[in-house]
A and B are shown apart, each in its own frame.
Chain A
Amino acid sequence: MKKKIKLTKEQITYIDDYLKHHKVKYWDVRIELLDHIVSDVEDRMNKKMSFDDALIEAHKSFGNSMKMFWNSGIEYSIFANGHGYKDFLIEKRKQINRKYRKLLNEELKNFFTSINTLFLFFFLALILYFTIIFNDNKVLQITVLVGVFLYSMRVYLFPLRHWIQKKKEKSINLEFAVNYILLSMLLLNFLSLLKPEGDSSLLNLQQYHWFFLVSVLFFFVINYCGYVVYKRTYKYYSNLYNKLENI
């Protein structure tokens, strides 16, 4: 039986570079596209097609096109566009966004149904009640709020470490895993917008204090759950990236 053609490491790297050239910048998207294209090219080469022709066919199969255009009046050139990959990425982003919204929702549900986290929630609520509503000591208030804020910021240590280690390869999963937690920052923005100043304020001081308490609590809960989702995602994709680097 005739041995089946398998692409060499160099040919696979060539296809990976071709995908990068077509702006597929996320490595965790590229692994799937790369495997598909390599399998397709190998199949076509086993049916007596050349590597270049097989790659052109695989390129077109994703909805990309090869257009002939008149190149500065000297000769015809082939222009390969990557519109198919662009659409692929748009769809992927949409689904990844849904995936992480769902994962965060599930984690929020877990938070409010587990005894340990519920205890944490009521404990923090009590501390905030006694420092914000029942107390005028500014130093104590600021200490508690800075504590909550810094604890909530733990999630950003992962992208920070990534940035310090100068890892250039981007992951679509890690990018979207942090997106919804970033939205919780809007709560803090509301706090500064609704601060009562003068007679025309929307909330009086007492209402504002309650609003403040609830916002800080929710900011904490979203960041707590976001951290759990992000940490799990980070661990999984770091292992996968190491696997990819060791090939």
Chain B
Amino acid sequence: MGNQKLYKGSLQTIILKLLAQNDKMYGYEITQKVKELTKGELKITEGALYPALHKLEADGLLDVEVAKVDNRLRKYYKLTENGTKETVSRLAEMEEFLRTMQTLVNPKFSLE
């Protein structure tokens, strides 16, 4: 398992990206989806996931829908219009960040 601290700052972007791909998701589903996509490399803890979800909701980037599922209620999160716009800009920021890190970690020297 990699260093979880490195992923910490990207948690909100990961959540936004997943919701952009999956329309609506619930908390447990997000943790499982991340585990599945990263083949267990990244495990989002419950203590980190929910504060991030609630912050995105308070910022108006996520909307909530509650539905009845097997003898209980389930809270689904989905992107708002602002959330969709924010996802695009955060993903662009993330790509920029990855490019910068790539340059720093693995610089390509040129004669120019």
Which residues of chain A have a CB within 8 Å of any CB of chain B?
Answer: 6-9, 12, 31-32, 34-36, 38-40, 43, 61-63, 84, 87-88, 91-92, 95-96, 98-99, 102, 240, 243-244, 247
Contacts and interface: CB of A to CB of B under 8 A. Distances in A.
Contacts of A62: 46-47
Given A6-B70, A247-B72, A91 B58 contact: no
Interface in B77-103: none
Given A12-B71, A247-B71, A96 B58 contact: yes
Interface in B10-56: 26-29, 32, 45-47, 50-51, 54-55
Interface of B: 26-29, 32, 45-47, 50-51, 54-55, 57-60, 66, 68-75
A35 B25 CA distance: 13
A146 B110 CA distance: 79
A40 B70 CA distance: 14
29 contacts: A6-B70, A31-B72, A32-B27, A34-B72, A35-B69, A35-B74, A36-B28, A38-B70, A39-B26, A43-B32, A61-B45, A63-B45, A63-B47, A84-B47, A87-B47, A88-B46, A91-B50, A92-B50, A95-B51, A95-B54, A95-B55, A98-B58, A99-B57, A99-B58, A240-B73, A243-B66, A243-B73, A244-B73, A247-B72
Given A36-B46, A63-B46, A12 B72 contact: yes
B28 A40 contact: yes
Given A32-B75, A36-B26, 9 more contacts: A35-B28, A35-B69, A62-B46, A88-B46, A91-B51, A95-B54, A240-B73, A243-B68, A247-B71
